[in-house]
Structure 1
Amino acid sequence: MSGSAAEITENSRALVTWHWRRYLRRHIGLIAAAFVLMALEGSMQGAMALMMQPMFDEVFLAGDRNLLIWVGLGVFAIFTLRALSGMGQKILLMRISQRANADMRLDLLDRMMRQDGSFHQLHPPGLLIQRVQSDVATINLAVLGILNGVGRDLLSVIMLMAVAVSVDWIWTLVALVGAPLLVAPSQIVQRFVRARAREARDLGARLSTRLDEVFHGIIPVKLNRLEHYQNDRYRALSDELVRAEVRATAGAASIPGLVDIMAGLGFIGVLWFGGGEIISGEKTVGEFMSFFTAIGFAFEPLRRLGALAGQWQVCASGIERVKALLDAEPKLVSPPKPVAPPKGVPGVALSDVTLAYGDTVVLNRTTLVAEPGQTTALVGPSGAGKSTIFNLLTRLIDPQSGRVEIGGVAASRMRLEDLRDLFSVVSQDAALFDETLRENILLGRTDVSETKLRDALKAAHVTDFLPKLEHGLDTPVGPRGSALSGGQRQRVAIARALLRDTPILLLDEATSALDAESEAVVQEALDRLSKGRTTLVIAHRLSTVRNADKIVVMDRGKVVDEGRHEELLARGGLYARLYSLQFKTEGPTADSVALAAQETRRRGNGAGDADSAPRDGTNLLSRIFGRWFGQ
């Protein structure tokens, strides 16, 4: 055997062992029962071949009418046993296969949900869906075929060959004269099929990813008239998949084809060699019919067993990918000896934290403190590192250096479950599922009383729109909450946070996508939610964080300033410039007038900087009010 063939055999043995130990061994009782039934079904073909000799020699040729009824009853019994055993083993095998694959899907989902962000950056949703659905389904079909082949077809071949040998072992050797011709081609075909199956699985994953991107981005697709563009890209991938699947099928079908060729050669040999013995009277017609029936029956299970080689290569490519995902260990895990989480309402602190993605530095020796029970706002231009801080606090990522502490306890020293139980998150994109409104709020919890649920709904202003829904809390919200408006989805997220009742609240642009009326309602609910909690807020709309206990100003991964709203305006740094840019577009406010007056005084004293000076040299107040009033 060549090195490549030996490698394939060893790899196949390892995959079979892995799949058996992890998913099939627990069903050993059902598998044993199924094999008993498969053995019974397979042996019936051998029994049928044995019946041919008395049927021809003693009934048809000798004319024994008394034996006719017994031969008929024997044939009927054979077909009845075959039918019952066949039905039973199919039911058992389907249960085993479906249960094993359901377990595999659950294991895959569990492992993928535990992976960190870097894993999901490398594995898009479409690819993961392909692995969970298509690859597991492929394994399911192949395992059914393999168990059938081993339990029924292999035994059938053994029984039928035993019948053939009992008639004449020389005829049997002649019938199998072409068998050695199958060995080398089958090894080549197996390597070819495995490669094409891998190619087809990868293309299937790319197709799933393409569909996922199109359906999730259907609005931009329509607005930018990208229908033809996306169709062309999908068609190109589909054409590649068709070619790969056809090549894989051609390879898999070639082995049964070779079995047919071998059968044809064997039939010619037996007809030439055995026909002479029948004519000379050395063998009876009944013996020939028994032999011919046994060999004829044997070639059909042999064809199926030959097809299993191709089937297994397709299955193996799926198991390889599934195993790779299940063997991929999450990088962010709980410590071996975790400490207890802090009690009460803890503060949050980052000390000299540095984090980079490759060569891109996101946080550069960042230090900040959020006091217990207070609201701390993180502001700054896009890319300043604000969202990264939220990810560090909840250990979605770990820093390269520095310390992240919750209530004086290092985040990395707590169990992940305990750490994340300290946080509630309300973000711009509230994650809703295609379930009822009630289920989207409770998320499987059964410990929430109706009174507590009602209080949360009222505090989150969900009760404001609840009467408008046809079935109230039992109304389906649609995929991703599409049946609700943006403001309604945010209020659902707030109700969830109220029921979680955690000591720390993270608000990530929670109102930035809302209109003024919805923002006012949601902001009121957020203010109520923040009371008595350590709250961190990310906001680009600075008017929403004016009342924060502390505002931390970030730029390029560093904390460049911090203080209250009025203090930061008075200092005239980055915060003042960002605020100035916003009120130029939103209109003058009391703060903006004060800021403009301050900037004028500073400019008169020669204290203005190049970034804040008007390019045309005109007074800042004139520019602001001139823009606002159309002058």
Structure 2
Amino acid sequence: MVMRRIWSGWVRPYIGRLIGALVLMAVVAASAAAYPLLTRHIFNALADGRAAEVIWVAPPLIILLALVKGVALFLQTVQVNALALRVTTDLQKDMARALITADLGVLTREPAGAFMSRIMNDLNLVREAAVRLANNLVRDVLTAIVLIATMVWLDWLMALVVLAVYPVALQPIIRIGARQRKASGHLQEHMEDVTSLLAETLQGARMVKAYQLEESETRRTRLAFDGLYARLVSLLTGRAKVDPILEIVGGVAVGGVIALAGWRVSAGYLAVGDVIAFITTLILLVQPVRAIGTLNAVTNEAIAAASRVLALLDRPNRITDAKDAVDVGRMSGAISFADVGFDYVVDAAASDAAASDAAASDAQPGMAAAPALVDVSFDIAAGQMVALCGPSGSGKSTVINLLPRFFDSTAGTITIDGVDLRQIGIESLRNNIALVSQDAVLFDDTVAANIAFGRSGASRDDITAAAKAAAAHDFIMALDGGYDAPVGTMGNRLSGGQRQRISIARAMLKDAPILLLDEATAALDADSEQQVQAALARLQKGRTTLVVAHRLATIRDADLILVMEAGQIVERGTHAGLIAQDGLYARLCRLQSLDSAS
């Protein structure tokens, strides 16, 4: 089933290349069978006293045969490898697209290293198997068929001995293959874990050094690689069992043939040249039979890897456009939450069920069993600034995540301008929303390109204007290369404040009517925060703004402040009104030395 999917989805488009490779394989198989026939002719000619014929005819024929086989083998190998690379490259592209377009819930529930392992390691196994399948299943099977036909033509009785012995090896080889598939699946899962561990350790390099964790992290990676070594040894041991089985069976076949040949020659049924040709054919048969024998184990390993690849490709996205979804154009930005609830565990279980995966426990590691949001209701008029505050884990960022439909609420209704989010086309919805978060995500490209992600086709003048509005123009021009300066991986060539201002410039360029600020200044120093706050103030003008903030001084002027705790709104009002209530908000303000006067 798995290999049939790979064939129909990714191999069939290249059927022309495959046919070309098959023709070349047939040439290789035919030339292999020609060797024993030529050997038979040579020895029979020598026995008949025709030495001159052997001297002048045989060498050129052997050279020509070797040349034909060599050229055909080279072209076939190139063709098969190119085809296998083309198929796996297409699969990698499809997997990358599946990951990029996957629901955020899927991406956050597994480490990035696990996905990278599937794209690289699993597909390498599939590629190797594709090459082996083409070579062994087609070329070697063709060669074996032609050689067996040659043996039958030379002497059917000796051929019967060979055909009776080799099938004995099938049963143990099939059992080994079944074990190899299971072992390969476990190996790939372990490789995922190792890849994730390495990525995690390298990404957290600063913390590792700051807390002197080098020894413990080295120990963790050493144990992980030891486990990987053990699984690899187990897999390779399984592969190694096939060759001895075939070697023993081959030895029995050759011994039986020689014994029978001696009797038939002495009885006058066979000429010496026929025997030599038969034994030559049998020796030539050993290599393709051995290759075909090992193919079962390799194929089962590839099926395990391909199953994991297809599982990723087949996982359906739940955040999709409704059949009657509408393009709303530019919206005014009036937002309403009515009895909205959200539960990460329920969302994960629904995602797994949609993917025909029974493991609802695949929920995000560390995910609380309690719902993230419970009966959340509020209204924001177009152009208003509303702030969300409260203790960590109270559900503030979850509210932000629901508006662009990164997740869908598990209860209640969310509308913009009176239209249910689920009835708005996703592209249309997200065109109306700009997001600036605490972690300013920059791609390994130029400054201009990172700002231009805000609006496709933006001119350099538009980009520059957005950068000036975000107070980023001056530091950009001071960079070596200005707007064409590379920012590095995740923007590591820039400071936190610089990255954040580029993120704000991107939002400026998008010019969306709804602005989401998710702790946009939380990680900045005082000087950077002052510059970013000034840029954010310009960005908020004329837009509906929903702000998540821990620093309550930044939301003092909000039109409405929603105080959240345990997934619920426990207080709402203006800064002054909430201070007067002397509830949770007032306590948080006192903790930050922020009173009504300040």
TM-score class, shorter-chain normalisation, is: over 0.9
1:160 matched to 2:160: no
Distance 1:84 1:462 in 2: 62
Q: 1:219 matched to which residue of 2?
A: 206
Distance 2:242 2:339 in 1: 65
Give 1:158-237 correspondences, 5 Å limit.
158-237=145-224
1:579 matched to 2:566: no
User: Does the CA contact (< 8 Å) of 2:174 and 2:296 recur in 1?
Assistant: no
- Matched residue SS, 2:65: helix
Q: CA deviation at 1:281?
A: 4.3
Once the two structures are overlaid, the 10-residue window that deviates more, 46-55 or 549-558, is 549-558
User: Does the CA contact (< 8 Å) of 2:476 and 2:483 recur in 1?
Assistant: yes
Q: 2:335 matched to which residue of 1?
A: 348
Q: 1:246 matched to which residue of 2?
A: 233
Q: CA deviation at 1:590?
A: 7.2
Question: For 1:365, which of 375, 378, 384 is the aligned residue?
Answer: 375
User: Does the CA contact (< 8 Å) of 2:81 and 2:131 recur in 1?
Assistant: yes
Q: Which amino acid aligns with 2:4?
A: T
Q: 1:428 matched to which residue of 2?
A: 438
Q: Which amino acid aligns with 2:301?
A: V
1:29 matched to 2:16: yes
Q: CA deviation at 1:579?
A: 1.4
1:474 matched to 2:480: no
Give 1:199-598 correspondences, 5 Å limit.
199-341=186-328, 343-358=330-345, 359-443=369-453, 447-583=457-593, 591-592=597-598
Q: CA deviation at 1:180?
A: 3.0
- Matched residue SS, 1:156: helix
1:56 matched to 2:43: yes
- CA offset digits 1:213-248 (Å, max 9, x no partner): 111111121222222212222222222221211121
Distance 1:67 1:363 in 2: 91
User: Does the CA contact (< 8 Å) of 2:340 and 2:373 recur in 1?
Assistant: yes
Q: CA deviation at 1:211?
A: 0.9
Q: From the superposition, tell whether residues 105 and 438 of structure 1 become closer, same or farther in structure 2 (CA, over 3 Å).
A: same
User: Does the CA contact (< 8 Å) of 1:177 and 1:265 recur in 2?
Assistant: no
- Matched residue SS, 1:583: coil
Once the two structures are overlaid, the 10-residue window that deviates more, 438-447 or 378-387, is 438-447
- Matched residue SS, 1:591: coil
How many residues align? The count is 575
Q: 1:145 matched to which residue of 2?
A: 132
Distance 1:571 1:148 in 2: 79
Larger Rg: 1
Q: 1:599 matched to which residue of 2?
A: none
User: Does the CA contact (< 8 Å) of 1:376 and 1:548 recur in 2?
Assistant: yes
Q: Which amino acid aligns with 2:555?
A: V
Distance 2:140 2:344 in 1: 55
User: Does the CA contact (< 8 Å) of 2:386 and 2:560 recur in 1?
Assistant: yes
- Matched residue SS, 2:35: helix
Distance 2:292 2:454 in 1: 47
User: Does the CA contact (< 8 Å) of 1:177 and 1:262 recur in 2?
Assistant: no
- CA offset digits 1:275-297 (Å, max 9, x no partner): 23334543222212211111111
Distance 1:560 1:428 in 2: 25
Q: Which amino acid aligns with 1:258?
A: I
Distance 1:199 1:571 in 2: 58
Q: CA deviation at 1:403?
A: 0.8
Distance 1:532 1:51 in 2: 90
User: Does the CA contact (< 8 Å) of 1:149 and 1:304 recur in 2?
Assistant: yes
Distance 2:159 2:455 in 1: 68
Unaligned runs of 5+ in 1: 1-13, 593-631
- Matched residue SS, 1:361: coil
Distance 2:49 2:266 in 1: 18
- CA offset digits 1:529-564 (Å, max 9, x no partner): 112211111111111112223222222222233333
Distance 1:256 1:441 in 2: 59
Distance 2:389 2:454 in 1: 35
Once the two structures are overlaid, the 10-residue window that deviates more, 548-557 or 57-66, is 57-66
- Matched residue SS, 2:327: coil
TM score, norm. by length of structure 2: 0.92
Q: 2:351 matched to which residue of 1?
A: none
Distance 2:424 2:63 in 1: 70
Q: CA deviation at 1:60?
A: 7.0
Distance 2:453 2:120 in 1: 24
TM score, norm. by length of structure 1: 0.87
Q: Which amino acid aligns with 1:350?
A: F
- CA offset digits 1:120-156 (Å, max 9, x no partner): 3442211111111100111011011101112211111
User: Does the CA contact (< 8 Å) of 2:436 and 2:518 recur in 1?
Assistant: yes
Q: CA deviation at 1:446?
A: 5.6
Distance 2:446 2:157 in 1: 73
Distance 2:110 2:20 in 1: 40
- Matched residue SS, 1:243: helix
Distance 2:298 2:344 in 1: 42
Q: From the superposition, tell whether residues 402 and 445 of structure 1 become closer, same or farther in structure 2 (CA, over 3 Å).
A: closer
Q: 2:77 matched to which residue of 1?
A: 90
CA RMSD in angstroms, aligned pairs only = 1.9
Once the two structures are overlaid, the 10-residue window that deviates more, 403-412 or 232-241, is 232-241
Once the two structures are overlaid, the 10-residue window that deviates more, 531-540 or 373-382, is 373-382
Distance 2:501 2:542 in 1: 19
Q: CA deviation at 1:445?
A: 6.4
Q: CA deviation at 1:444?
A: 9.7
Distance 1:60 1:518 in 2: 97
Q: From the superposition, tell whether residues 70 and 500 of structure 1 become closer, same or farther in structure 2 (CA, over 3 Å).
A: farther
1:71 matched to 2:58: yes
Q: From the superposition, tell whether residues 38 and 443 of structure 1 become closer, same or farther in structure 2 (CA, over 3 Å).
A: farther
User: Does the CA contact (< 8 Å) of 1:342 and 1:406 recur in 2?
Assistant: no
User: Does the CA contact (< 8 Å) of 1:346 and 1:406 recur in 2?
Assistant: yes
Q: Which amino acid aligns with 2:282?
A: I
- Matched residue SS, 1:111: helix
Identity of aligned residues (%): 34
Distance 1:437 1:56 in 2: 77
Distance 2:255 2:344 in 1: 70
Once the two structures are overlaid, the 10-residue window that deviates more, 220-229 or 298-307, is 220-229
Distance 2:135 2:454 in 1: 40
User: Does the CA contact (< 8 Å) of 2:11 and 2:87 recur in 1?
Assistant: yes
Q: CA deviation at 1:582?
A: 0.6
Q: Which amino acid aligns with 1:591?
A: A
User: Does the CA contact (< 8 Å) of 1:101 and 1:136 recur in 2?
Assistant: yes
Once the two structures are overlaid, the 10-residue window that deviates more, 364-373 or 468-477, is 468-477
Distance 2:329 2:135 in 1: 57
- Matched residue SS, 1:339: coil
Q: Which amino acid aligns with 1:46?
A: A
Unaligned runs of 5+ in 2: 346-368
Q: 2:348 matched to which residue of 1?
A: none
